């Protein structure tokens, strides 16, 4: 598909500085731009590429002031990164959607199927499952018995949704995600033996949630593991049984949330964050990559770093002292020798 800079500016409520009829047929990173490509500048450290990129057009902020001549056409918008996201969403919607049911799909007679569906090859829809209008169920997806999936959801290849789970409207589950596997519940019988605790709850995923590839959300022991609306989970995340994640929280890859943890609204977790079980995280908290949270965080909008996770300012001060430890150790050794020398006199 091909668009002009003027067409793109119209979609994004932007203005064109340069050739409004320049033809664009792809997007590229600014340092890898080439003829026909649209790129963007949102991080100031990439500004030098504005003057060297081969891209035909660049999305820039409305108040961007170039320090040199720019060969590319500029499309000025309020927020270049957000504008690119909107543009890509518009482009994705313009692609023809797959429809129909593949003959190799297995759909139980008791399942309720909506309209305007795509069901891919070797997908399995079990007893009493409900698939609502506009869903795309890609090849080799498994939908367990009594599962309900809301409207306009996309389940990519290999997604597994166990029995009794509920998925809201407009959700996206990427390849290999597992929803509703048993929580990690075992009762010690002896020092070397554990008895499995049946996990009889389910998982509830509210509207407009996106779940990354190979992320696992365990069913509750009793009740529900709940992912509130607007949550975005990256790839390879483990969500334990009876966890609740608040609205619009985003969590990066390889993070792990132990059982019965409560995470508030609008939180942001970096990669490889670990949360111990049975604790709460207040609304708006930010937790840096590889941090380990061992206790409840009650104050909203707190920023935490490190292990065990502490206030970010305190942690950064600690890092400064840690870097000085070799020097401090040498000074202590020297002082010890000096004191011993004085004693010997």
Dihedral of CA atoms 197, 201, 202, 204 in degrees, nearest 10, equals: -130
Integer Cα distance of 155 and 171 in angstroms: 8
C-alpha pair distances (Å), 21 with each of 4, 83, 91, 198? 5, 19, 19, 64
Give me the residue label for tokens 């599962």.
Answer: 147
Nearest to 74 by CA among 3, 120, 22, 141: 22
Is-catalytic flag, 241? yes
Q: Do residues 26 and 33 lie in contact, with contact meaning Cβ atoms separated by under 8 Å? A: no
Integer Cα distance of 208 and 228 in angstroms: 9
What does the chain come to in residues? 345
Cis amide linkage into residue 308, ω under 30° from 0: yes
| Catalytic, out of 138, 156, 174, 241 | 241
- By annotation, the residues acting in catalysis are 241
């Amino acid at each position: 598909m091909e668009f002009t800079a003027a067409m793109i500016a119209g979609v994004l409520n932007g203005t064109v500085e340069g050739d409004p009829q320049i033809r664009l047929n792809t997007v590229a990173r600014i340092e890898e731009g080439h003829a026909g490509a649209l790129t963007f500048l949102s991080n100031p450290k990439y500004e030098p590429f504005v003057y060297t990129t081969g891209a035909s057009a660049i999305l820039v902020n409305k108040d961007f002031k170039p320090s040199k001549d720019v060969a590319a056409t500029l499309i000025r918008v309020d927020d270049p990164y957000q504008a690119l996201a909107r543009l890509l969403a518009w482009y994705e919607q313009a692609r023809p959607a797959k429809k129909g049911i593949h003959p190799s799909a297995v759909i139980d007679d008791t399942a309720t199927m909506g309209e305007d569906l795509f069901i891919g090859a070797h997908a399995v829809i079990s007893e009493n499952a409900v698939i609502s209008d506009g869903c795309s169920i890609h090849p080799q997806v498994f939908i367990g018995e009594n599962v309900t999936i809301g409207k306009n959801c996309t389940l990519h290849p290999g997604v597994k949704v166990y029995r009794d789970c509920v998925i809201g409207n407009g959700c996206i589950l990427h390849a290999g995600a597992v929803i509703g596997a048993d929580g990690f519940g075992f009762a010690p019988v002896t020092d070397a033996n554990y008895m499995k605790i049946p996990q009889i709850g389910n998982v509830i995923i509210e509207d407009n949630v996106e779940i990354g590839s190979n992320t696992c959300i365990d069913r509750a022991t009793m009740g529900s593991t709940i992912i509130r609306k607007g949550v975005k989970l990256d790839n390879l995340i483990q969500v334990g049984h009876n966890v609740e994640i608040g609205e619009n929280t985003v969590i990066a890859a390889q993070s792990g949330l132990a059982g019965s943890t409560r995470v508030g609204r609008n939180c942001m977790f970096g990669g490889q964050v670990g949360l111990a079980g049975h604790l709460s995280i207040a609304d708006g908290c930010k937790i840096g990559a590889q941090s380990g949270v061992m206790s409840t965080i009650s104050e909203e909008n707190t920023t935490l770093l490190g292990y065990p996770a502490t206030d970010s300012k305190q942690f950064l001060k600690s890092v400064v002292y840690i870097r000085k430890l070799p020097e401090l150790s040498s000074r202590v050794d020297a002082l010890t020798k000096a004191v011993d020398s004085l004693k010997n006199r």
